[in-house]
Amino acid sequence: MKVAIIEDEVPAREQLISLLQKVKVDVEVVFTAQSIQESIVQLRQHSGLDLIFMDIQLNDGLSLAIFDQVSVAAPVIFATAFDQYTLQAFQQNGIDYLLKPIKQKELEMALRKFDQLQSHFQKDFQQLLRSFNGEESAFKKRVLVRKGGSYASVPVEEVQYFFSEHKVTFLVNKSGQKLIVDETLAELEQSLYSGKFFRLSRAVLSSIGAIDKFTSDGKGKLLVDLIPSTNEQVTVSQEKAGEFKRWVSG
């Protein structure tokens, strides 16, 4: 996850980075900025941010002024010692508002909200249009895999599911072979036709043909059995259970 931190207090900035590394190991701090002007320059230079942490009061004024001078596409978690700017924050890109000093549990809750929003809006607009128009041909047809020191191309129709383990992505085909893929699950999810593939969890992206059966755990979550079977139970969260059922039912 690519993040930016806009914070003029060095101790607060270092504490936030430390907390992020504790609660989310796959985070990359793309840049930090201490002022409005520095933030504007950095935001114009760096696109593709997933999330921004932003203090309200910087050394040259209120950070809310940034939104008047540059287009900010990423969601923002505001972190500040002042609570009187909540409304203005949520009128911009704000998805949460944390009061300093930031506590680990509050940060975890904010990141959980971000993950839920990201999951809901995971497809970009062009891909949605292609999907609505039935343009399945616009999506990936084959997946590149590694076999020792060489590469091979696997037709998407042969893929049962992908899974991530120890930061390595694997493809499991209909024969039960496990092959290494250089792309992340997030990248694969964006490039595969959503009518045939679904992100069951952080670690599993499955084809419709791999779904054997699923049961409720009684708490809103779903327990999914895949073909070929996996070593660990695959769980669909309560938030995604409804979407999964609609996907399975076609």
Q: Is the pLDDT of residue 3 over 80?
A: yes
CATH hierarchy code of domain 137-249: 2.40.50.1020
Q: Identify the weakest region by mean pLDDT among 32-36, 51-55, 166-170, 228-232.
A: 228-232
Looking at 3.40.50.1450, 1.10.3720.10, 3.40.50.2300, 1.10.20.140, the CATH number of the domain 2-120 comes to 3.40.50.2300
Per-residue pLDDT tens digits for 122-142: 545 445 444 544 555 557 889
Residues in the chain: 250
pLDDT for 121 equals 57
List the domain boundaries for the chain. Answer: 2-120, 137-249
pLDDT for 173 equals 96
Q: Do domains 2-120 and 137-249 have the same CATH topology?
A: no
pLDDT for 86 equals 67
Instruction: Give the list of residues 6+ apart from residue 171 with CB closer than 8 angstroms, or none.
Output: 143, 145, 154, 159, 162, 178, 179, 180, 181
Per-residue pLDDT tens digits for 215-226: 998 788 999 999
Q: What's the predicted TM-score (pTM) here? A: 0.48
Strand ranges (E), 119-182? 142-147, 150-155, 159-165, 168-173, 178-181
Residue of 240, 235, 230 whose CA lies nearest to 216:
235
The mean pLDDT of 231-248, rounded to a whole number, is: 89
- Asked whether the bond before 101 is cis by omega within 30 degrees of 0, the reply is yes
* Helices marked H in 123-213: 125-132, 185-191
